Amino acid sequence: MVPCPRTNEVGNSTGDDYAGAIQVVQRAAQVGRFVANASTAGSTCPPSNTHGCYQLTYTVSRVR
């Protein structure tokens, strides 16, 4: 994911935005389509984005 820089230089850790992170703990038996929102903790996401600045949609399927 490309950051939305607050400075003219991408990769400047003191100036770039931080969109938050997603951490998912998945049980082995859970299969299907899942959606997870980015955390707003520590992010520079505006307060109006109550569900975070981005969303991850993924599918887990059983492979035999």
- Inside any domain, residue 11: no
Domain count, the chain: 1
- Inside any domain, residue 15: no
- Inside any domain, residue 33: yes
* Nearest-angstrom CA–CA distance, 47 and 9: 25
Domain of 39 in residue numbering reads as 20-64
Q: Which two tokens stand for residue 1?
A: 């994911």
- Inside any domain, residue 13: no
- Inside any domain, residue 40: yes
Statement: residue 4 has pLDDT above 70: no
Give residue-wise pLDDT tens across range 13-64.
565 667 778 888 887 788 999 999 988 888 888 888 888 888 999 999 988 8
Q: Which two tokens stand for residue 39?
A: 């955390």
- Inside any domain, residue 54: yes
Closest CA to 22 of 60, 49, 46, 53: 53
